[in-house]
Amino acid sequence: MNAPSVPIRLAGVGVTYGRGATAFAALRGITLDIRPGEMTLLLGPSGSGKTTLLQVMGCLLRATTGRVELFGRGVEGVDAEGMAALRLAHVGFVFQHYNLFPTLKAWENIAIALDIKAVPRAGQREMALELLARLDLADRAEHYPSELSGGQKQRVAIARALAGSPQALLADEPTAALDGKTGQSVAAALHDLAHRAGVAVVVVSHDPRVEPFGDRVLHLEDGQLIDDRRPTRSPR
Ligand SMILES: Nc1ncnc2c1ncn2[C@@H]1O[C@H](COP(=O)(O)OP(=O)(O)OP(=O)(O)O)[C@@H](O)[C@H]1O
């Protein structure tokens, strides 16, 4: 029996892009559990399969071989609509370039996500403000993205990813476009989310500023998991 409390479970997962002579094995034999309440870092050289693995975890991409479970439910045999429903119910995504709507204020960017989660319009503004406050952005609710710093934009994107209270938050290079301390504060915000809200946070990163915030560090090389460790130093 699989414990339903394991947000994401992969067993022998492989992903092959293309077919025949052009087939390329981007992931091979990945077996791991992603746990709630901690921040897992996914490190590895360029092309090692980090984004591919994150996409499989978030049901954006189907594994070619092996088994993927979200909250105890296997996704093989689930159709595209079912995969979308699983994502919507369980997973939030954060990307390098924020992907905010430039013509919408910070709180409205979050309201759109609440809309997709079928939160009634009447409660959306209040909920968006609460989410912004969790990311220390209460005073930026009425600002447009062009009026926010890079770090603030990324925190709006994180607040948006939390719309609908996902149990897993998957972030692909969330600090890559941020300089100096800003990248660190975004990494700290992700770490706090894992620890305070019990969210399973998975972060793909090349950024050494992010590393001290990882509770667990996975290393990929050539599509294989070559290391899985828990740094002994305390975060920050
Ligand atoms: N749609 C695709 N079709 C064919 N090959 C792909 C596709 N997407 C990724 N790949 C290949 O799969 C391998 C893994 O790619 P992936 O993006 O997962 O690596 P990564 O570790 O995230 O790299 P980076 O750090 O450069 O972003 C790479 O060799 C890439 O060229």
Which token pair is 156? 């709006």
Domain annotation covers residue 236: no
Provide the whole-model pTM: 0.91
Determine whether the shortest distance from the Cβ of 55 to ligand 1 is under 6 A: no
Determine whether the shortest distance from the Cβ of 57 to ligand 1 is under 6 A: no
Q: Which atom of ligand 1 is nearest to the CA of 49?
A: 18
Burial class (CB in 10 A: 0-12, 13-18, 19+), 151: buried
With left for phi above 0 and alpha for psi between -120 and 50, is residue 180 left, alpha or beta? left
1 or 55, which is more confident: 55
Q: How confident is the model at residue 194 (pLDDT cuts 50, 70, 90)?
A: very high
Q: Please report, rounded to a whole number, the percentage of residues in the chain having pLDDT higher than 70.
A: 97
Mean pLDDT of the chain: 91
Ligand 1 centroid, distance to 53 Cα (angstroms):
10
Give the DSSP letter string of 144-158.
-GGGS-HHHHHHHHH
For residues 56 and 169, give the distance between their C-alpha atoms in angstroms, rounded to a whole number: 13
ipTM for the whole complex: 0.97
Determine whether the shortest distance from the Cβ of 123 to ligand 1 is under 6 A: no
- Per the structure, the complete domain to which residue 130 belongs is given by 8-229
Condensed to tens digits (0 to 9), the pLDDT of residues 52-68 reads 999 999 999 999 999 99
Going by alpha carbons, the residue nearest to atom 30 of ligand 1 is 47
Domain annotation covers residue 1: no
Determine whether the shortest distance from the Cβ of 47 to ligand 1 is under 6 A: yes
Domains identified in the chain, total number: 1
Domain annotation covers residue 24: yes
pLDDT score of 1? 45
Domain annotation covers residue 164: yes
pLDDT score of 164? 80
Residue with tokens 């079912």: 82
Domain annotation covers residue 235: no
Give the mean pLDDT of 190-212: 91
Least reliable range by pLDDT among 143-147, 149-153, 175-179, 225-229: 175-179
pLDDT score of 146? 96
pLDDT score of 3? 44
Q: How confident is the model at residue 234 (pLDDT cuts 50, 70, 90)?
A: low
CATH number for the domain spanning 22: value is 3.40.50.300
Domain annotation covers residue 213: yes
Domain annotation covers residue 216: yes
Determine whether the shortest distance from the Cβ of 54 to ligand 1 is under 6 A: no
